[in-house]
Amino acid sequence: MTRPHFYKAGSKRTLLLFHGTGADEHDLVPLAELLDKEAGILSPRGLYVENGMNRFFERYQDGSFNEQSIEQAVSELTDFISAAIIEYQLAGNEFIAVGFSNGANTAAALVLRQPTLFSAAVLFGSTRPFSGISEVDLTGKRIWIGNGSHDPYAPESVTESWVAELEVAGADVSWLRHSGGHQISQAHLQEISRQLA
């Protein structure tokens, strides 16, 4: 629990927030309150620092992901979440992973590696965290992917194959698209909030 983080008590639903590059544990709190104002919030800080900016895992100079670094981040975050469940008495809560950009990719990696922990994931500006999905059962998991049609970090062709992989694994995927780039759409927030309710 020494990891920097933000926590707010709420309902039996807890939103686990994962910020984007250069942000911190407070960045997505207003977004979480728009998604579900009654939910509890648990938001850890990414501990990998790239050029002075917080991230959850390392990427190479060409922008590709260091998958070993992702695995390490998932392991450390799993330990943090397990400790937080005890510290904040969250056993039995519904957990939804919510992330933007680097945080969305981290949230997706957590769901793939720890699927029993989460009921759903909300991924903004995301792409697949791993080059391939290993055997994982995502039956019953709701996943929202909100990406811009002109997002250079998440090309539509890549998102299309990523959505297909998640569906093959059993997830119920909603792919929401807006006409912009690497940003979060207010309309997507409203739509996901309505569906969560």
Buried b (16+ CB within 10 A) or exposed e, 114-129: bbeebbbbbbbbbbbb
Residues contacting residue 53 through CB under 8 Å, at least 6 positions apart? 21, 22
Catalytic residues: 101, 151, 182
The reported pLDDT for the residue numbered 133 is: 81
Is residue 175 within 8 A of residue 182, CB to CB? The reply is no
69 has a pLDDT exceeding 90: yes
Kindly report whether the global pTM for this prediction surpasses the value 0.85.
yes
Give the residue-averaged pLDDT of 17-25: 98
pLDDT in tens, 126-164: 999 999 887 899 999 999 999 999 999 999 999 999 999
